[in-house]
């Protein structure tokens, strides 16, 4: 009787699902029960109240003011901002480098193509952590002290305390130049959007706008004052200083990820069938317009999803910061705060939740993009 009912696939499906759910709930209950008992026996109060308590430690780099009296919650924010900063900068640099190398791999020049291939095969077959150690311990920490800094054109200085860059200082002229550039750009966009006048007039307007933007840019550069780093006593003053941990992490992340982005770009460009290029040339489009109107739009459709994947990887890989003590989320919050407070469960749950949120947000964004650019009518 029961055996006959068990043969019913629908009933069996319900049974399997109930069983799976029960197993998960049971496992969860055991884990929660054990954790509560363990925390009690160690005298650790659970909850997120510790976030308001005063931290009592300092960090080597923070984008917001942080002192020893700041709270653990603020330490979390410091770490999160440092993670976002290093990821954003890494993404920009990795994209630029990756596109250059990916295009170089398809160069008609044999030497350029082989050099790009050698870069990719070397960098992506060596663990990121090893590359990070190399940049940090063997390169940056081995640099001379501030007095013997590596001096690049008297503007940029590199020593074992970090990287010192000049920063631009705005003046009144800068503001005016920016306003001129903004107005010209707005006019350009408006001309393109509304298409007033004759084509010849539009051409003249466009030319005028470009000239204005060019002049504005020159003025902008001329109007900027530069705050240059200079040696004062035992260290540099002025400009902006970047700690060696930050520099090592950005360099390692961007060069490593660039090798993967290069492969993504190459695959994307190669995915455009030769016939498309030949057809476009046959229609009389110039090489540049072929590239801009035919190759790139089709290649980007292929490149974009794996590219965002690499961005995600870079963001997750930035957590290796903890190995060289760059104060990122994992290092400050998952390391220092966890060790001081002993709130292991809360700290790790929050840390993981942040990365998970970033991953899911990017995944959703990418899903939307994919739907928007999906091939229609094929």
Partner 1 sequence: MTPARTTVDLRPPAMRLRPIRWMRRNLFGSPFEAVLTLLILCGLWFALRPLVDWALIDAHWSGQGRDACAGGGGACWVFVRARLGQFLYGFYPEAERWRVDVGIALVALAAIPLFLPRMRRKGSIACIALPAAFAVAGFLLTGGAFGLVAVETGRWGGLMLTVVVAVTGIAASFPLGILLALGRRSEMPVIRTLSVAFIEFWRGVPLVTVLFMASVMLPLFLPDGANVDKLLRALIGIALFAAAYMAEVVRGGLQAIPRGQYEAASALGLGYWRTLGLVVLPQALRHVIPGIVGSFIALFKDTTLVLIIGLFDFLGIVQAALTDPQWLGFALEGYVFAAAVYWVFCFGMSRLSARIERRGAPANAPAGRTW
Backbone torsions φ then ψ of 6, nearest 5 degrees:
-65, -20
Q: Does 35 bind partner 1 (CB under 8 A)?
A: yes
CB of 148 to partner 1, least distance (A): 18
Q: Does 290 bind partner 1 (CB under 8 A)?
A: no
- Binds partner 1 (CB under 8 A): choice among 2, 3, 64, 138: 138
Cβ-based nearer residue to partner 1, 212 or 323: 323
Q: Does 6 bind partner 1 (CB under 8 A)?
A: no
Of the candidates 358, 375, 130, the residue with the CA atom closest to the CA atom of residue 255: 130
For the window 334-353, what string marks contact with partner 1 as x by the rule CB under 8 A?
A: x---x-----xx--x--xx-
The span from the CA of 314 to the CA of 258, in Å, is: 10
Q: Does 286 bind partner 1 (CB under 8 A)?
A: no
DSSP-H helix ranges across the chain: 2-6, 9-42, 72-104, 110-123, 128-133, 172-194, 199-223, 244-270, 274-282, 287-289, 296-317, 338-341, 344-373
For the window 97-116, what string marks contact with partner 1 as x by the rule CB under 8 A?
A: -----------xxxxx--x-
Considering only residues 292 to 321 of the shown chain, the ones binding partner 1 according to CB under 8 A are 310, 313, 316-317, 319-320
- Binds partner 1 (CB under 8 A): choice among 157, 260, 311, 326: 260
* Strand (E) or helix (H) holding 151: strand 150-152
Place of tokens 């990795």: 94
The span from the CA of 198 to the CA of 185, in Å, is: 20
Please list, in sequence order, all residues whose beta carbon lies within 8 angstroms of the beta carbon of residue 244, skipping any fewer than 6 positions away: 136, 140, 141, 160, 161, 162, 163
Determine the distance from the C-alpha atom of residue 93 to the mean position of all C-alpha atoms in its chain, rounded to a whole number. Answer: 9
Q: Are 289 and 65 in contact (CB under 8 A)?
A: no
- What the block records as the tokens of 15 is 């049974």
CB of 359 to partner 1, least distance (A): 4
Q: How many residues bind partner 1 (CB under 8 A)?
A: 58
CB of 137 to partner 1, least distance (A): 5
Q: Are 59 and 307 in contact (CB under 8 A)?
A: no
Q: Does 322 bind partner 1 (CB under 8 A)?
A: yes
- Binds partner 1 (CB under 8 A): choice among 143, 205, 285, 323: 323
The span from the CA of 17 to the CA of 208, in Å, is: 69
CB of 312 to partner 1, least distance (A): 9
Residues that bind partner 1 (CB under 8 A): 13, 16-18, 20-21, 24, 31, 34-35, 37-39, 41, 108-112, 115, 121-122, 124-131, 133-134, 137-138, 142, 257, 260, 263, 310, 313, 316-317, 319-320, 322-323, 330, 334, 338, 344-345, 348, 351-352, 355-356, 359-360
């Amino acid at each position: 009787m029961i055996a006959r009912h068990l043969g019913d696939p629908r009933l069996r499906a319900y049974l399997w699902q109930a069983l799976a759910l029960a197993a998960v709930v049971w496992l969860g209950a055991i884990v929660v029960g054990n954790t509560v008992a363990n925390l009690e026996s160690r005298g650790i109060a659970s909850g997120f109240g510790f976030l308001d308590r005063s931290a009592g430690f300092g960090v080597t780099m923070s984008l917001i003011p942080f002192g020893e009296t700041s709270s653990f919650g603020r330490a979390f924010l410091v770490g999160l901002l440092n993670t976002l900063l290093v990821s954003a900068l890494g993404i920009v640099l990795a994209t630029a480098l990756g596109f250059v190398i990916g295009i170089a791999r398809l160069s008609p020049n044999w030497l350029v193509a082989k050099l790009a291939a050698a870069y990719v095969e070397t960098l992506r077959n060596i663990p990121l952590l090893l590359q990070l150690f190399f940049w940090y311990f063997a390169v940056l920490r081995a640099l001379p002290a501030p007095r013997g800094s590596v001096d690049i054109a008297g503007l940029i200085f590199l020593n074992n305390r970090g990287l010192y860059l000049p920063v631009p200082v705005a003046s009144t002229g800068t503001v005016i130049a920016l306003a001129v550039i903004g107005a010209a750009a707005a006019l350009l966009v408006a001309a393109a959007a509304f298409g007033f006048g004759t084509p010849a007039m539009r051409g003249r307007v466009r030319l005028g706008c470009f000239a204005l933007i060019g002049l504005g840019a020159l003025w902008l550069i001329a109007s900027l004052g530069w705050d240059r780093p200079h040696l004062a006593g035992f260290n540099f003053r002025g400009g902006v200083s970047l700690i060696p941990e930050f520099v090592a992490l950005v360099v390692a992340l961007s060069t490593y990820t660039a090798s993967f982005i290069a492969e993504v770009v190459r695959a994307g460009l190669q995915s455009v069938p030769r016939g498309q290029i030949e057809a476009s040339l046959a229609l009389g489009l110039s090489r540049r317009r072929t590239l801009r109107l035919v190759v790139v739009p089709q290649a980007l459709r292929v490149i974009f999803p794996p590219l965002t994947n690499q961005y995600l990887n870079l963001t997750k890989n930035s957590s290796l910061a903890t190995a060289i003590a760059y104060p990122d989320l994992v290092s400050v919050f998952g390391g220092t705060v966890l060790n001081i407070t002993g709130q292991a469960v809360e700290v790790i749950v929050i840390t993981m939740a942040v990365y998970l949120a970033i991953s899911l947000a990017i995944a959703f964004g990418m899903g939307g993009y994919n739907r928007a650019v999906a091939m229609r009518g094929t």
